[in-house]
Amino acid sequence: MTERARFARRSRMRRFFAAALPFWQGKTRLRAWGLTIAVLVFVGAQLGAAVGVNTWNRLFFDALEKRDAAAAWGAAGWLPLLVAASALSLSALVISRMLLQMRWREYLTNRLAGWWIADQRYYRLQFVAEEQAAPEYRIAEDVRLAIEPLVEFAIGLISAAVTAATFAAILWHVAGSAHFVLAGTEIVIPSYMAISAIGYAALASLAAYLTGRPLVARIAAKNETEAQFRAEMTRLRENAESIALIRGDADERSSVGENYRRVVAAWLRVIKQQGVIALVLNTNGALFPIVPLLLIAPKYLAGEVSLGAVMQVVAAFSAVQAALIWFVDNVVRLAEWFASVTRVDELQEALEGLDIGTIMADETRVEHTESDDGAIQLNGLSIAHSNGRIVIADATVLIGLGEKVLIVGESGTGKSTLIRALAGLWPWGSGSIAMPRGKTVAFVPQKPYLPMGNLRSVLLYPEAATPVPDETIVAALKRCGLGYLAKRLDDEDKWDRILSGGERQRVAFARLLIHRPDIIIMDEATSALDEDSQTALLSLFESDLAHATVISVGHRPGLEDFHDRKITLEKHLAGAHLTSRRLGKSLWRLFKTRTAANDEAA
Domains of the chain, by residue range, sit at 3-358, 367-601
Summarize the confidence of residues 79-103 as an average pLDDT.
86
The 3-class secondary structure across 494-561, one letter per residue, is: CHHHHCCHHHHHHHHHHHHHHHCCCEEEEECCCCCCCHHHHHHHHHHHHCCCCCCEEEEECCCCCHHH
pLDDT at 401 over 80: yes
DSSP H helices, 69-142, are 69-117, 121-128, 135-137
How far is Cα of residue 59 from the mean position of the Cα atoms in its chain?
53
Q: Are 346 and 227 in contact (CB under 8 A)?
A: no
Q: 3-358, which class in CATH? A: mainly alpha
Does residue 126 or residue 408 have the better pLDDT?
Answer: 408
Domain 367-601 has what CATH class? alpha beta
Which of 486, 467, 466 has its CA nearest to residue 476?
486
Q: Looking at residue 119, what is its pLDDT?
A: 73
- What pLDDT is stored for residue 598 in this prediction? 55
- Residue 65 — pLDDT band, cuts 50, 70, 90? low
| CA–CA gap between residue 133 and residue 63 (Å, rounded) | 65
Mean pLDDT computed over 304-309: 70
Q: What angle do helix axes 326-354 and 121-128 make, rounded to 10 degrees?
A: 100
Q: Place 107 in a pLDDT band, splitting at 50, 70 and 90.
A: very high
pLDDT tens digit sequence for 184-232: 566 666 666 777 777 777 777 777 778 777 877 787 788 788 878 888 8
pLDDT at 417: 85
Triad 445, 447, 450: Cα angle to 5°:
105
Q: What is the mean predicted confidence (pLDDT) over 61-75?
A: 74
The pLDDT score that the predictor gives to residue 278 is 80
Highest average pLDDT, of 220-229, 259-268, 313-322, 570-579, comes from: 259-268
- Which of 6-10, 291-295, 317-321, 364-368 has the highest mean predicted lDDT (pLDDT)? 364-368
Identify the weakest region by mean pLDDT among 73-87, 279-293, 484-498.
Answer: 279-293
The number of CA neighbours under 13 Å toward the Cβ of 520 is 30
Tell me how far CA of residue 548 lies from CA of 40, 147, 150, 405, 416, in angstroms.
63, 50, 54, 11, 20
Instruction: Look at residue 183 in the predicted model and tell me its pLDDT.
Output: 55
Average predicted confidence (pLDDT) for the chain: 80
* pLDDT of the residue at 282: 77
| Residue 533 confidence (pLDDT) above 60 | yes
Pick from 198-202, 254-258, 411-415: least confident:
198-202
Looking at per-residue pLDDT, the higher value among 95 and 339 belongs to: 95
pLDDT at res. 95:
92
Band (587; pLDDT cuts 50, 70, 90): very low
Among the listed residues 455, 469, 555, 447, the one whose alpha carbon sits nearest the alpha carbon of residue 514? 469
pLDDT-derived band of residue 588, with 50, 70 and 90 as boundaries? very low
User: Is the pLDDT confidence value at 360 over 50?
Assistant: no
Query: Is residue 13 pLDDT above 50, yes or no?
Result: yes
Q: Which of 258-267, 359-368, 457-466 has the weakest average pLDDT? A: 359-368
The yes-or-no verdict on residue 305 having pLDDT over 60 is: yes
Contact 363, 340 (CB under 8 A): no
Q: Is residue 456 within 8 Å of residue 533, measured between CB atoms?
A: no
- What confidence category does residue 324 fall into, taking pLDDT thresholds of 50, 70 and 90? low
Q: Of the candidates 82, 99, 86, 85, which has an alpha carbon nearest to the alpha carbon of residue 38?
A: 99
pLDDT (mean) for 244-267: 84
Question: What is residue 384's predicted lDDT score, i.e. its pLDDT?
Answer: 85
**Which pTM was predicted?**
0.61
What is the predicted pLDDT for the residue at 291? Answer: 74
488 — pLDDT class (breaks 50, 70, 90) = very high
Determine the pLDDT at residue 326. 72
Residue 455 has pLDDT above 80, yes or no: yes
| 69-78, 180-189, 291-300, 407-416, range with the lowest pLDDT | 180-189
pLDDT at 557 over 80: no
Least confident interval from 40-54, 104-118, 403-417: 40-54
Can you tell me the distance from the alpha carbon of 201 to that of 324, in angstroms, rounded to the nearest whole number?
Answer: 6
Whether 1 shows a pLDDT value over 70: the answer reads no
**For residues 567 and 85, which has the higher predicted lDDT (pLDDT)?**
567
User: What proportion of the chain, given as a percentage, has pLDDT over 90?
Assistant: 17
Tell me the pLDDT band of 518, cut-offs 50, 70 and 90: very high
388: alpha, beta or left, given left = phi > 0 and alpha = psi -120 to 50?
Answer: left
Which among 343, 423, 352 is positioned nearest to 383, based on CA atoms? 423
For the cut 80, the answer to whether the pLDDT of residue 487 exceeds it is yes
Q: In angstroms, rounded to a whole number, what is the distance separating the alpha carbons of residues 554 and 524?
A: 5
**Stretch 63-86: mean pLDDT:** 76
pLDDT of residue 122: 76
| Structure confidence at residue 515 (pLDDT) | 92
Measured CA to CA, the distance from residue 274 to residue 270 in angstroms comes to 6
